[in-house]
Amino acid sequence: LNALRSGRLGGYATDVFPVEPPAADDPLLALPTVVATPHVGGNTRDVAAHQGEIIHDELSLLLAGQRPKYVLNPAALESFGWLGARRMDEAGLQKRTGGPGPGASDLDVDAQRNKAAESRRESLPATAVESRRSQAGQAAQRSDEVRSMDADDARQKMIAILMDFTAHIAADPDMAIFARGKNVVFSFTVKDLDQAFHLSFVNGQVAAGLDAPPREPDVRLKMAADVLDGMFTGRVNATKAATTGKLSFSGDTGKAMAFMRIQANMSRLYGEARARVGDPGDLTRLGQAGSPTAATSAPAAAAAPQPAPPSPTPATSSAGSQKMIAILQEFTAAIRTDKGMADFSKGKNVVFLFTVKDLGQSIFLSFVGGKVEAGLQAPPREPDVKLKMTADTLDGMFTGRVNATKAATSGRLSFSGDTGKAMAFMRIQKEMSRLYAEARQKAGDPGDLTCIGAPPGSEPQAVEPGAATPAASAGTAIVDAASVSAVPKTGDVRDQILQATSELYAKGLITATGGNVSARADDNPNEIWITPSAIFKGDLRADMMVRIDLDGRILGETDFSASSERRVHCAIYKAMPDVTAVIHSHAEQATLMALTGTQFQPISADAAFFGDIPVVPFIMPGSDELGHEVARAMQANGIAVLMQNHGLVVAGSSLRRAADMTEIIEVTAHKLLTCRTLGVEPPLLPEEVVRELKEIGKSAA
């Protein structure tokens, strides 16, 4: 600890057991330079293979009549034989059962923990035990009432399960024992239920319920009802839930790690609550049409987005929220009747959607053929441009307090949609700010908007997107989420995207904000991870990557926008199923080659792999047309395409191959341009060799 605190030791990485040092509540884990992941025992391929080799070698020694190296009970060898029944030393066995086991590991911790808990329970005063039993009886009575609820209503069933679950947590003796010396509050937000619940463990006192937490939570998690139910019943892998955006985490990682001590009991209590209330059925339907949360859960292509429901988290300034909604109503009403907006709308066909996350409210602006529409209801059609931000960011952008560019690059504002149509917004930016200021003056100052959506007495807290570490079981939901902010790596293809991007940026093939890299998701070939838009490449992290489908729609919750060139990537993946990685670079020499009309030629074996690289004439970046034309040219060539006045696109069977091919093309382009500058016609490889190498290149790529 002293070495880490003084800086003599730069950092420390360890796996964490529930009980054995370093345990989940070890002070070591609170240090920012310590990386901690849950211990997964033999649940890895490498460990399993190593253990298998040891077993093989030990059995080989036994078969050869030799003594094995690793024997837990040497006395057993004295009577060992390959034939007949095993001879048992009953007296010896009886003696062994009276002593301690051979060691403690994550495999027998549960048994030891339960035994210790029972021992501690026996030492509690009789009045305390009776009090707990009384509380448990009251909880059971409440669960009887829960069972009378409508079994066919999945929403009511799920809320009933949470009521029963939290009631029994508050009354469970093991939870009370865990709470001794603790000071941690967890908050779970079940998005499609519009419901939150809290778990509080403070100085031996346990509180849990569907009401507001007693204070600002130390750990926050957000997920859908189906994900929550799946994690506590074993259907859903917490790691995949976090890496796919189905689960988001923020808060104190050190305190979150303490959850490891009670993860088994939590799953047990949830399972019992579920058994008492009944199976809630298909929870995925909570986000479908007809439910209050359809707008936030339904696929973007299915219907136009609906305004999101109010957040279940209690607001410290309900007056501020109401003021802000009143401002948006005045603002959109003024847009509908403003002459300047009507003039702008002539010849236009664009719909904008603004989602104000902490208000749980959306507004749309529609400019189509001279007709202007705006309001807080659903837009008339699928928006061309979508923006997400907090109320404070929206207010700041229209009043001049917040720089929109900085908001986008810091993740406070996310953008998706048609870049070309989004640019049209610049023409009415001043008019929009004027109308917003007038609406604000009419409705009144909303006050401190950073407090919207926060529990009483809390400070605003930014939620950083993250990644998870491998989980040992569904019960490690909290641990995996905690590791999101503790571990810089995500454990999936995003780490490779970051490595390739950093490498290309260091070589100057990708610029500070120009160029983008993507790869198919490990768990779904019809979804991809792609670098975010407008983020400085030097500050990029693996957990900043944005997950999208092959139509370019953002999946899951994120504070970042997908690359503006995602349409090029998506079009290639759609057209070429074998492609698993795409790199768009602003390679200087390759771009110059296209600008000067210099043909890519087979001047080396490396260059011959590519054949001729087609050039797509200039098309507006970010457009569907550019994506279509690049994919068409890529299908004809199979490896690389140059975009006139723009850059280079390379597709490959892996990120490593795509990155290597990008560099080979750039190096070859430099040689060709140098020859041209010197007035030298470079010698080419023989035609038959080029043909052979080109075929090899296509296969290898």
Cis check: omega of the bond before 22, within 30 degrees of 0: yes
Q: CA-to-CA distance for 112 and 101, rounded, in angstroms?
A: 10
> How many other C-beta atoms are found inside a 10 Å radius of the C-beta of residue 68?
15
CA proximity to 362, closest of 372, 350, 375: 375
The pLDDT, as a whole number, for residue 293 is 37
Over residues 68-75, mean pLDDT:
77
366 bridge partner residues: 351, 373
Q: Mean pLDDT, the chain, as a whole number?
A: 78
pLDDT at 648: 97
**Burial 440-449, CB ≥16 within 10 A → b, else e:** beebeebeeb
Nearest-angstrom CA–CA distance, 492 and 468:
9
For 205, the 3-state DSSP assignment is strand
The per-residue pLDDT for range 490-522, each reduced to its tens digit, is: 889 999 999 999 999 989 999 888 899 999 998
The H or E element containing residue 572 is helix 566-575
Distances (CA, A) of 180 to 132, 174, 202, 203, 204: 15, 10, 7, 5, 4
Contact between 419 and 280 (Cβ < 8 Å): no
Using the Cα atoms of residue 102, residue 106, residue 108 and residue 111 in order, give the sign of their dihedral: positive
pLDDT tier at 240, thresholds 50, 70, 90: low
Per DSSP, the three-state class of 186 is strand
In this predicted structure, what is the pLDDT of residue 270?
92
Q: 3-class SS at 373?
A: strand
Contact in structure between 151 and 157 (CB atoms under 8 Å): yes
Give the residues across from 388 on adjacent strands: 355, 414
* Cα distances (Å, whole numbers) of residue 333 to 383, 385, 416: 19, 20, 25
Q: Is the pLDDT of residue 531 over 80?
A: yes
- Compute the average pLDDT of residues 40-46: 59
The string of pLDDT tens digits covering residues 167-203 is 999 889 888 888 888 888 999 999 888 889 999 999 8
Nearest one of 240, 164, 224, 155 to 188, comparing CA atoms: 224
Please write the tens of the pLDDT for every residue from 378-429.
Answer: 899 988 888 889 999 999 989 888 877 677 766 788 777 776 677 677 778 8
Q: Which has more confidence, 628 or 109? A: 628
Continuous H helices in 172-300: 173-179, 225-233, 238-243, 253-257, 263-277, 294-297
Return the closest-CA partner of residue 485 out of 539, 544, 527, 525. 544
- For residue 486, is pLDDT > 70? no
Which amino acid appears at position 363 of this protein?
I
pLDDT for 155? 85
Structure tokens at 672: 């060709």
Amino acid identity for residue 232 in this structure: F
Closest CA relative to residue 584, chosen from 543, 536, 521, 627? 627
How far apart, in whole angstroms, are the C-alpha atoms of residue 315 and residue 359? Answer: 10
Most confident of 40-44, 232-236, 358-362, 497-501: 497-501
pLDDT at 613 over 70: yes
- 84 or 277, greater pLDDT: 277
User: Would you say 443 and 326 are in contact if contact means Cβ atoms under 8 Å apart?
Assistant: yes
295-321 average pLDDT score: 42
Residue type, 573: Y
Q: Which element (helix H / strand E) includes 652?
A: strand 647-652
647, pLDDT greater than 50: yes
**What confidence category does residue 299 fall into, taking pLDDT thresholds of 50, 70 and 90?**
very low
DSSP state of 559: S
Q: Minimal CA–CA distance to 407: which of 425, 424, 388?
A: 388
- Is pLDDT of 355 > 80? yes
CA 86 to the chain's CA centroid? 53
pLDDT attached to residue 637: 80
Whether 34 and 9 have beta carbons less than 8 Å apart is answered as: no
Residue 466 in tokens: 């993250």
Q: Are 634 and 651 in contact (CB under 8 A)?
A: yes
Q: Could you tell me what percent of the chain has a pLDDT over 70? A: 74
- Cβ-based neighbours of 508, under 8 Å, separated by 6 or more: 588
Confidence of residue 483 (pLDDT cuts 50, 70, 90): very low
Does position 124 have pLDDT exceeding 70, yes or no? no
Identify the residue whose tokens are 């160029």.
Answer: 515
Please count the other Cβ atoms lying within 10 Å of the Cβ belonging to residue 528.
28
Q: What does the chain come to in residues?
A: 701
Find, among 627, 617, 525, the residue nearest to 567 by Cα.
627
Cis peptide before 74 (omega within 30 of 0): no
Tens of pLDDT, residues 136-171: 455 445 444 433 334 357 888 898 899 999 999 988
What SS3 class is residue 396? Answer: helix
Q: How far is Cα 535 from Cα 82, in angstroms, rounded to an integer?
A: 67
Name which of 249, 663, 323 is nearest 479 in CA terms: 249
Residue 356 confidence (pLDDT) above 70:
yes
pLDDT tens for each residue of 555-597: 987 878 888 899 999 999 999 998 999 999 999 999 999 999 9
**What separation in angstroms does the CA of 30 have from each of 33, 200, 221, 476?**
9, 20, 19, 19
Q: pLDDT: is 606 or 695 the higher one?
A: 606
> Mean pLDDT, to the nearest integer, of 314-324?
67
Distances (CA, A) of 546 to 23, 532, 626: 34, 6, 21
Given this model, what pLDDT does residue 149 score?
38
pLDDT band at residue 282 using 50, 70 and 90 as cut-offs: confident
| HEC per residue, 61-111 | HHHCCCCCCCCCCHHHHHHCCCCCCCCCCHHHHHHHHCCCCCCCCCCCHHH
Domains of the chain: 45-97 (no CATH), 122-287 (3.30.1050.10), 318-451 (3.30.1050.10), 489-700 (3.40.225.10)
Round to whole Å and give the CA distance between 20 and 365: 58
Cα–Cα distance between 116 and 39 in angstroms, integer?
Answer: 21
pLDDT reported for residue 148:
37
Distance CA 356, CA 360 (A): 6
Euclidean distance between the first and the last CA atom of the chain, given in angstroms as a whole number: 49
